[in-house]
Structure 1
């Protein structure tokens, strides 16, 4: 067996004893910052917690639509899977809420002045407002409650509020079927106006779709605001309660404006604000489609235009506001 030569052994001994004057050459050549950025772009890498350009952000988000859909459906399924009645609670919760409001406001307090079918009025209002309210509260928690997920994985943060609202839409579909059934059956109760199924009912999916877009914009806004200021989440239940009473969910609000001791000009302005604010617009659209009270809810092209306008405005503004805080989510 051959033994190593003195020339080969000397450098190793010198390095081991600490006598070597020059360090061994690096295994990987050193690179400049510009070269590292070039390599990262070449292999599709990018730094974490950096807000990408808006166009790139939108493209990245659209590529993950399948993931958003799966996340939404799994969230909707997991919500009630530990309960004995399971997914039936997605329908039972709005039914119980509507029953309470019908008994208290429609029967005991008789706050159905000007409405020929108060049961249908309240049921539609409660079912559809629950979709809006749940989107606001769910959007508020979509970022603030998922810090560990945000710090562990890299993905467009808009996935979370979008999947939250889509999950609520998934559970709303069977609830809408029940809502329509109750609306029809209420017409057979003595003293309540009969409701017929007409061709206008085909516009119900369009009204719900506009609400979905509008709610997604609300979820974006709430996610950004609550992520930066968590105290807002504690105030939301009180705000949503005020919005409920001011939007005609349980009783027609504008009929009470005439009893106020204010000038006629002030009454006109207040009535316009109450009628054309977004929540009232969407409740109007659904009621005008399902109910037959032409005196209160005539079919109005203006309300459909307003519904589309509110949906686009809130979605665009909410998305941009949310995107501008992309690099802060999970770090604050």
Structure 2
């Protein structure tokens, strides 16, 4: 009799599309479930972006002021005082593009790490695919990045007016900027998935992320060309370290963005780098999504 009752319940649940709580759904169903929540993701993302600065006097203006002030500090220290921009003609453009875009990466990592812990009440109250939360977090950062990108482009353009730098012109390649930003958003979302899963399982990792991102910043050519210093290594070390620095994801995205906005001869448009950027974005997003999905039944319970 108990078996018959269990079978009847399963039949009724299947008839009305009901799913058992706390069980990871199949990957195909999970993807469809996440895609059907896009309106919720968009609203949650924009609401999160708005709430971050609503208690400040300048409000949403800080979405532009923060990366701008950050870039000014690095330009003053590394571009003027230390003069670490070896092999770069336009130091200001190089550093500004690097800091604005890397800030998007860094905030996505930190946002992903907190996307589960900060929404524990929501997770326990409502039934929805948890992948919505990291996606919404990166969407919120993308909404604040858009006006910051306008400021970034203006600074890059004005830097060409300084006598010590070559002029910067608005060319057709500037139209490619939204495409590399879209690939970077895809990459950041994949990383946010991975970090969200890792921190949900091991909360102590959240304390290490800041140090890791600092290491990534200095090793990815954000504020100075790290590949320039490879020439001082032995030939064997150059053959190993050089390609790693050239084709690691952050370096690839920054190279493509700089080749779009500047006309420096040492940063030309390169289809190979575009292919690497697309590859990093797709592989990271897919891998991150699967990694996050595999821990679906644990979120909000650990």
TM-score w.r.t. structure 1 length? Answer: 0.89
- Where does residue 273 of structure 1 map in the other structure? 244
Q: Following superposition of structure 1 onto structure 2, how do residues 140-289 of structure 1 map, counting pairs within 5 Å?
A: 140-260=113-233, 263-289=234-260
2-side partners of 1:161 and 1:60: how far apart?
A: 15
Deviations 1:9-62 (A, max 9, x none): xxxxxxxxxxxxxxxxxxxxx971111111122222222111000111111111
Q: Following superposition of structure 1 onto structure 2, how do residues 35-54 of structure 1 map, counting pairs within 5 Å?
A: 35-54=8-27
- Where does residue 285 of structure 2 map in the other structure? 315
1-side partners of 2:269 and 2:275: how far apart?
A: 12
- Deviation of 1:269 after TM superposition, in Å, equals 1.5
1-side partners of 2:181 and 2:120: how far apart?
A: 31
Unaligned runs of at least 5 residues, structure 2: none
1-side partners of 2:166 and 2:105: how far apart?
A: 27
Q: What SS is found at the alignment partner of 1:258? A: helix
Deviations 1:121-155 (A, max 9, x none): 00000000000011111001101222221111100
Q: How many residues align?
A: 300
Unaligned runs of at least 5 residues, structure 1: 1-29
2-side partners of 1:152 and 1:33: how far apart?
A: 26
Q: Following superposition of structure 1 onto structure 2, how do residues 54-73 of structure 1 map, counting pairs within 5 Å?
A: 54-73=27-46
TM-score w.r.t. structure 2 length? Answer: 0.97
Q: What SS is found at the alignment partner of 1:146? A: helix
1-side partners of 2:114 and 2:149: how far apart?
A: 25
- Deviation of 1:182 after TM superposition, in Å, equals 0.3
2-side partners of 1:189 and 1:141: how far apart?
A: 42
2-side partners of 1:31 and 1:151: how far apart?
A: 31
In structure 1, which of residues 282, 298, 303 is the aligned counterpart of residue 273 of structure 2? Answer: 303
2:298 matches 1:325: no
- Where does residue 123 of structure 1 map in the other structure? 96
- Deviation of 1:80 after TM superposition, in Å, equals 0.6
1-side partners of 2:159 and 2:269: how far apart?
A: 21
251-260 or 284-293: bigger deviation: 251-260
- Which has a greater percent of helix? 2
Q: Following superposition of structure 1 onto structure 2, how do residues 100-111 of structure 1 map, counting pairs within 5 Å?
A: 100-111=73-84
Q: Which 4+ runs in 1 deviate beyond 4 A?
A: none
2-side partners of 1:215 and 1:44: how far apart?
A: 33
RMSD value, Cα = 1.1
- Deviation of 1:78 after TM superposition, in Å, equals 1.3
Larger radius of gyration: 1
Q: What SS is found at the alignment partner of 2:157? A: helix
Deviations 1:195-234 (A, max 9, x none): 1110010110111010010001000000000000011110
Q: What SS is found at the alignment partner of 2:232? A: coil
